[in-house]
C-alpha cells in the first residue's frame, strides 16, 4: 500500500482511497499530538509542499481543533525560538 499512497485520487479504487485517507487521518492526529507534546521538529516537514496536499490538509484540519496549543507551538518553535 505505501506505493499506492502517492497515486492521484483518480488512479485509485474507492477502497484504496479510503485506506489512504484513513492512514493520513491517523498520521495527522499523531502529528498534532507530537506538536502538543513539544516534538514539533518531527512534524514541520510534513507541512511542506507536495503534489498531493491531502496529508497537509488533514494535519491542518486536526490542528484547528486545538488552536491554542498549535499557535503556542508555532510561536515557540518557528516564530520566536529561544
pLDDT of the chain along its 82 residues, tens only? 445 445 455 566 778 888 888 888 898 889 888 887 878 777 888 888 888 888 888 888 888 776 666 666 666 666 665 6
What's the pTM value of the predicted model, to 2 decimals? Answer: 0.64
pLDDT at 44: 80
pLDDT at 73: 67
pLDDT at 46: 84
Secondary structure string (H, E, C) spanning the chain: CHHHHHCCHHHCCHHHHHHHHHHHHHHHHHHHHHHHCCCHHHCHHHHCCCCCCHHHHHHHHHHHHHHHHHHHHHHHHHHCCC
Amino acid at each position: 500500500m505505501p506505493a499506492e499512497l502517492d497515486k492521484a485520487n483518480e488512479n485509485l479504487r474507492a477502497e484504496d482511497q479510503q485506506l489512504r485517507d484513513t492512514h493520513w487521518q491517523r498520521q495527522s492526529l499523531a502529528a498534532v499530538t507530537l506538536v502538543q507534546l513539544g516534538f514539533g521538529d518531527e512534524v514541520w516537514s510534513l507541512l511542506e509542499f507536495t503534489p498531493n496536499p491531502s496529508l497537509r490538509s488533514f494535519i491542518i484540519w486536526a490542528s484547528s481543533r486545538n488552536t491554542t496549543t498549535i499557535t503556542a507551538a508555532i510561536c515557540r518553535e518557528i516564530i520566536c525560538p529561544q
